[in-house]
């Protein structure tokens, strides 16, 4: 009987590892548009920020290629007022002139149509209203993989 417990534990462990392998493979399959590009830094008064950008094909038009930005400012306090702007290759596609932080900060996620065979220079800029602190975050994405998106915008 004592031999069955370790054998059962071994089988359960093997099944758990197999589940992890399947999960990882599934996650990799979802990255058909490539991995995200991330940058981190601090603003002019030391407020931490993170910018992540990546291609996707699950935007408002099914299968159309988009590039998205996820921008977070770790404000460390609620009630701060910021102006936040996103641009793609110099063209502004999102602006919030009064983005108010929660207790955990500010988080904005938006997408923009993208074109195949184009390098995407993504930028998020923010200015805090009361202190004038500025954040200028940028990432550069190589052209989207051909397997991503059925067409271009």
What value does the mean pLDDT take over residues 4-24? Answer: 42
**Residue 82 sits in the same domain as residue 133:** yes
| Domain extent at residue 117 | 37-141
Query: Does residue 28 surpass a pLDDT of 70?
Result: no
**Residue 83 backbone phi and psi in degrees, to 5:** -100, 125
**Residue 13 sits in the same domain as residue 58:** no
**Residue 55 sits in the same domain as residue 120:** yes
Query: What distances in angstroms separate CA 113 from CA 56, 84, 152, one per listed residue?
Result: 10, 19, 8
Q: Note the pLDDT of residue 141.
A: 97
Whole-number percent of the chain with pLDDT over 70:
78
The answer to the question of residue 149 being in a domain is no
The answer to the question of residue 53 being in a domain is yes
Among 108, 109, 118, which residue's Cα sits nearest to residue 148? 118
Q: Note the pLDDT of residue 63.
A: 87
Q: Note the pLDDT of residue 12.
A: 41
The answer to the question of residue 147 being in a domain is no
What value does the mean pLDDT take over residues 2-26? Answer: 43
**Residue 77 sits in the same domain as residue 6:** no
The answer to the question of residue 13 being in a domain is yes
For 31-41, how does the pLDDT look when each residue is reduced to its tens digit (9 = 90+)? 679 999 999 99
Name every residue whose Cβ is closer than 8 Å to that of residue 12 and which is 6 or more positions away in sequence: none
**Residue 110 sits in the same domain as residue 50:** yes
* Lookup: tokens for 75: 């404000």
**Residue 64 sits in the same domain as residue 90:** yes
Q: What is the dihedral of CA 111, 101, 125, 50, to 10 degrees?
A: -70
**Residue 106 sits in the same domain as residue 53:** yes
The answer to the question of residue 150 being in a domain is no
For 46-99, how does the pLDDT look when each residue is reduced to its tens digit (9 = 90+)? 999 999 999 998 888 888 999 999 999 999 899 999 999 999 999 999 999 999
Return the biggest CA–CA distance within the chain. Answer: 71
**Residue 61 sits in the same domain as residue 124:** yes
Alpha carbons 120 and 114: distance in angstroms, whole number: 8
Torsion-angle region of 138 (φ positive above 0: left; ψ -120 to 50: alpha; else: beta): beta
**Residue 100 sits in the same domain as residue 50:** yes
Mean pLDDT for all residues in the chain = 84
**Residue 41 sits in the same domain as residue 25:** no
Q: Note the pLDDT of residue 61.
A: 86
**Residue 81 sits in the same domain as residue 9:** no
Q: Note the pLDDT of residue 19.
A: 43
**Residue 77 sits in the same domain as residue 93:** yes
DSSP string computed for 24-72 = HHHHHHHTTT---EEEEEE-TT--EEEEEEEEES-SSSTTB-EEEEEEE
The answer to the question of residue 111 being in a domain is yes
Q: Note the pLDDT of residue 30.
A: 56
CATH of residue 75's domain is 2.60.40.10
Query: Count of domains in the chain?
Result: 2
Report the predicted TM-score, pTM, of the whole model to 2 decimal places. Answer: 0.77
Alpha carbons 57 and 54: distance in angstroms, whole number: 10
């Amino acid at each position: 009987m004592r031999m069955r417990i370790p054998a059962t534990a071994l089988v359960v462990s093997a099944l758990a590892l197999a589940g992890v392998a399947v999960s990882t493979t599934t996650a990799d399959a979802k990255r058909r548009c490539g991995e995200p590009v991330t940058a981190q830094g601090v603003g002019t008064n030391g407020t931490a920020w993170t910018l992540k950008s990546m291609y996707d094909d699950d935007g408002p038009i099914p299968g159309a290629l988009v590039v998205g930005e996820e921008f977070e400012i770790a404000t460390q306090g609620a009630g701060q007022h910021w102006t936040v702007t996103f641009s793609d290759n110099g063209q502004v596609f999102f602006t919030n002139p009064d983005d108010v932080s929660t207790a955990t900060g500010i988080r904005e996620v938006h997408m923009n149509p993208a074109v195949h065979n184009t390098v995407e220079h993504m930028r998020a800029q923010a200015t805090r209203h009361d202190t004038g602190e500025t954040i200028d975050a940028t990432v550069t994405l190589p052209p989207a993989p051909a397997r991503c998106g059925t067409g271009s915008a």
